[in-house]
Amino acid sequence: MSRLIIDTDPGVDDAFALALAARSPEVDLLAVTTVFGNVGLEHTTRNALRVLALLGREDVPVGVGAARPLVHATPLEATAVHGDDGLSGRSALLPERSRGVEPEDAVALMARLITESPEPVTLVPIGPLTNIAALLAAHPGVKSNIDRVVIMGGGLTGGNVTAAAEFNLWCDPEAAHRVLVTEDVPTVLVPTDLTYQCAVDGDWLNRLAASGPLGAALEPLTEVYRAHYRQILGYDGTVIHDAVAVAEAIRPGILRTTPIPVHVDTAFGPRRGGLLADRRLIAPLADPGFRTVEVAVETDVEALRAFLFDRLT
């Protein structure tokens, strides 16, 4: 059984990712921790609680994490993509959870659960990496009981919030650099190059809505998100980025990975927050500014969509 902690900034695709983990019988969901990102921390925390309530998961503790980046303020939120509340203005339609947030903050909660776990834990950060950077800096001893860190973020060929940077890394480049480049924990990076390939179309979403109570609750949350991606994709559909990363955390190997040296740009300029991947077949010199991580590059797209649909229905 996979023991997971999901660090998240819900967010429409985060809601799908949480549902995927919560409805997978082979997953022991130890905790959900929240971070700023798609919307502010108050919204992301409330959304996490309400999505877990929808899923009937009162048992899962929720820890509140960082409200801002480690160093420099983030210029904007993704409300144009996710709606003002992060869930297309529909968060109030979700049930309230009777269990609130834990007295421990996100970092303390993660540190305790990882330390106490009898088996290694997989961390699944699907938002900015602020909480994970703080955890690894303040509690380096937990690394021995982390199986791997499966990150949704980055783009090998460019970004989505700037020409160079993907949103999660751009929100806190210093934290992303710490986790991806400085640390030595086994890491899988799931970039937007792959998640865009796994986009689902309107028919998939409509079938999800008709599949039962969970699908009927999730699909309306996509309204603003779906309209945004209709412009990008050129057809009625959407990209559930974070669910692709959670699928890999649940079923290792559902995505094909390859080792690639990566670097995160923390300088101020047009490449800030961008991922630089060294894809040369032969590198004459080892660059100390890079670390080799497993990067997801391919999957059986139809099989992945079927896996997501099966678990969400």
CB 171 within 8 A of CB 272: no
Which residue bears the tokens 């819900």? Answer: 10
Q: Which entry of 43, 82, 177, 241 is annotated as an active-site residue?
A: 241
Half-sphere exposure of 90 (CA within 13 A, CB side): 19
Residue type, position 131, single letter: N
Q: Is 14 exposed, middle or buried (0-12, 13-18, 19+ CB in 10 A)?
A: buried
Tokens of 63: 């820890």
CB 138 within 8 A of CB 111: yes
Q: Residue 76: how many CB atoms within 10 A of its CB?
A: 10
* Residue 275, beta-bridge partner list: 264
Which residue bears the tokens 């209709």? Answer: 230
Residue type, position 93, single letter: L
3-state secondary structure (DSSP) of residue 32:
strand
Order of strands across the sheet that contains 275-277: 62-64, 27-34, 2-8, 121-125, 146-152, 187-190, 291-299, 255-264, 275-277
Residues in CB range of 213: below 8 A, 6 or more apart: none
DSSP string, 159-212: -SSSSS--HHHHH-HHHHHIIIII--S-EEEE-HHHHGGG-EEHHHHHHHHTS-
Any catalytic annotation for residue 241? Answer: yes
* Residue numbers annotated as active site: 241
